[in-house]
Chains A and B, each alone.
Chain A
């Protein structure tokens, strides 16, 4: 158990809909990262937050947004969903600002299926 909690574990929705994925980082971790894993794109970094502030941005679509709340949990919002958004979405956390000093702790992921 990594200590990172993601909900929901599975989600099935239709094209054009909007969903919210939730992540609770390990106790005390200030950084939260979101990754998307699909068969054709592999693991893609989406966005990082540190103590409530956006820190780094990757290949995140404009239809997607995220935020980190004062209690450090984070949410990833996916809107106007398309079939290609079907993927496993991972949240990870770390203690520090940068990944230079250590590992990321991953949640079990939220599997999104868009029909």
Chain B
């Protein structure tokens, strides 16, 4: 079963624009992570944000977390063609089983 739901399912923007993807989840979390997957390739970790954090930056990436709304957003600024990929949020529950559960993903296409 999926813990997270990404929105939108697909997004196309012009190169240089900012891209925002949202993730909603159902249960309380210990942390939330974002991963990128190029077509048919393995997933690559982008950033991890803990439940007591509200915002985190890494290069052109900005992640926010709102635990009251059980949601997170990933902002990619100044997008590049190489950012074309699928982006997944993944959550670790606050208690119990520590498995990482992935959302459904957002397919991002950057138009040169």
Contact = CB atoms under 8 A, between A and B. Distances in A.
A103 B45 contact: yes
B77 to A, nearest CB: 22
A68 to B, nearest CB: 16
B99 A99 contact: yes
Q: How large is the interface on B (under 10, 10 to 19, 20 to 34, 35 or more residues)?
A: 20 to 34
Interface string B45-86: 100100000000000000000000000000000000000000
Contact of B40 (A88, A99, A102, A104): A88
Contacts of A84: none
B20 interface: no
Interface string B1-23: 11000000000000000000000
Contact of B48 (A4, A58, A102): A102
14 contacts: A42-B105, A59-B1, A90-B43, A99-B92, A99-B98, A99-B100, A100-B31, A100-B92, A100-B98, A105-B45, A106-B42, A106-B43, A106-B44, A109-B41
Interface of B: 1-2, 30-31, 33, 35, 40-45, 48, 88, 92, 97-105
Interface residues of A, number: 27
A24 interface: no
Nearest to B2: A42
